[in-house]
Amino acid sequence: MEEVIDKTGGKNTGDGWKNYNDTKRTAAAVALSDVISKEEKRFTSKDVELNRVLGGGIVPGSIVLVAGEPGIGKSTLLLQDALEMNEIVTLYISGEESEQQIKMRADRLKINNDNFYLLTETSVNTIFQEIKKLKPQFVIIDSIQTLQAEFVESSPGSITQIRECTAAFQRFAKETGTPVFLIGHITKDGTIAGPKLLEHMVDTVLQFEGDRHYAYRILRTLKNRFGSTSELGIYEMTGDGMRAVLNPSEILINQKEDQLSGSAIAASMEGLRPLLIEVQALVTQSVYGTPQRTSTGIDSRRLQLLLAVLEKRGGFQFGVKDVFVNIAGGLKVEDPSIDLATICALLSSYEDVPLPQHICFAGEVGLNGEIRSVNRIEQRIAEAEKLGFEKIVVSKFNKKGFDKNQFRIQVIALGRVDELYQYLF
Ligand code: TYD
Ligand code: MG
């Protein structure tokens, strides 16, 4: 349902931020060749993970949506990142918390910054009056769902409100060259609350995710006008703020003395970063008629497919088993190269035989049980080697020209899942 918008009435008329538009502009077409290409000077934040997911720092005049479930740490992350940039004037607008609450959080972070300003306000009109006075170089809004534009006759968080408020900040960002970060809540079903339109209105959409029961948080690029969308930042939520995790592979692999069955390490890639990830599987006799299949961190249809391949091509009786698969650390993985590690974890639990230590896997599995090649194989192998693995299983169909002998780690190239089974068990 659309709400009534009254742009002429209300107390907004004639004053406030509307005057932002009062410079008369004439529209004229320009020849592309006459446009001078400016090297946009990005702000680099002290947070290397944030710079990475943004494609190399904060672009002036850009509008960035940071979305995530309540309690995941969006306010903490942006407060911390802003406090660390003490050379630029930041305005942090909160419609969710009081000044005291934010102060308490800042105290926990233990960062001093005299250029950091707070405004607890939800009225867009009042906010722009303050913005005009302060002229901040960086604006953060926590959250877009709490804001209210006076000329929209609907409650905060409604579709029209979100759209109008975002439009106002978009205009402000473009006209003044000020970067604006909007915090947005995600609803239970994982969609960003508010219209899909919101995602189209902003330049960049970052999603902050993680399992609240784990300390690890992932900042993922879903859309970026100024960089790649396959980037990923990893943080650890500590007692005094977010800590960038610079070597994620180390934390994602369970450090344990003796190897248990049902666990296998995948040499995966997230964005441009190699990441070694532990896949855990538990295969048990099914008690009920319909066997259970539960997966966290990997796509459940992918799991079904891999089970079907094992059943059909390997003759394993997964049809009478309950199967649980989990990615350690609460991570969600989309890289198909974890197929091979998933298969190995499943087989290891099925046979109740631990895999040899110091081995990892990188390969996609096809419907015929063939092990398919994956991209950036050299980078994956190099990461495995760096972390002290002794062997890595890859597809023998990986593109020609890469030399296994350049690595110290033993590279085992196989063509089919049954060869892998024979090799391991
Ligand atoms: P918050 O940033 O308020 O989440 P969001 O804005 O996404 O709703 O963070 C909420 C949780 O973070 C809260 O349970 C407390 C925890 N926390 C820490 O663990 N360490 C810290 O330094 C801070 C400030 C918060
Ligand atoms: Mg918050």
- Over the stretch 300-338, which tens digit does the pLDDT of each residue have? 999 999 999 999 988 999 999 999 999 877 778 889 999
pTM: 0.76
299 closest CA partner among 313, 279, 285? 279
**Which residues line the pocket of ligand 1, CB cutoff 6 A?**
68, 70-76, 105, 108, 237, 239-241
Give the number of the ligand closest to the Cα of residue 97. Answer: 2
13-31 pLDDT, tens digit per residue, is 444 445 555 455 567 888 8
Integer CA distances (angstroms), 89 to 105, 309, 345, in order: 19, 57, 51
Q: How far is the CA of 75 from the centre of ligand 2 (A)?
A: 4
pLDDT at 255 over 60: no
Q: How far is the CA of 171 from the centre of ligand 2 (A)?
A: 24
CATH of domain 39-246: 3.40.50.300
Cα 66 to Cα 143: distance, rounded to the nearest angstrom: 9
* Residue 12 banded pLDDT, cuts 50, 70, 90: very low
CATH 3.30.230.10 residue ranges for the chain: 250-424
165 and 205 in contact (C-beta within 8 Å)? no
Q: How far is the CA of 195 from the centre of ligand 1 (A)?
A: 26
CATH 3.40.50.300 residue ranges for the chain: 39-246
CATH of domain 250-424: 3.30.230.10
Q: Which ranges of 91-186 does DSSP label H, i.e. alpha helix? A: 99-109, 124-134, 159-176
Ligand 1: residue of 65, 93, 237 to mutate (most ligand atoms within 8 A of CB) is 237
Residue 29 corresponds to which tokens in the numbers above? 């077409």
Closest ligand 1 atom to residue 109 Cα is 22
- Residue 194's SS3 state is coil
220 closest CA partner among 67, 381, 392, 33? 67
362-419 pLDDT, tens digit per residue, is 999 999 999 999 998 998 998 888 888 899 999 999 866 678 788 899 999 999 999 9
**Residue of 156 and 83 predicted with greater confidence:** 83
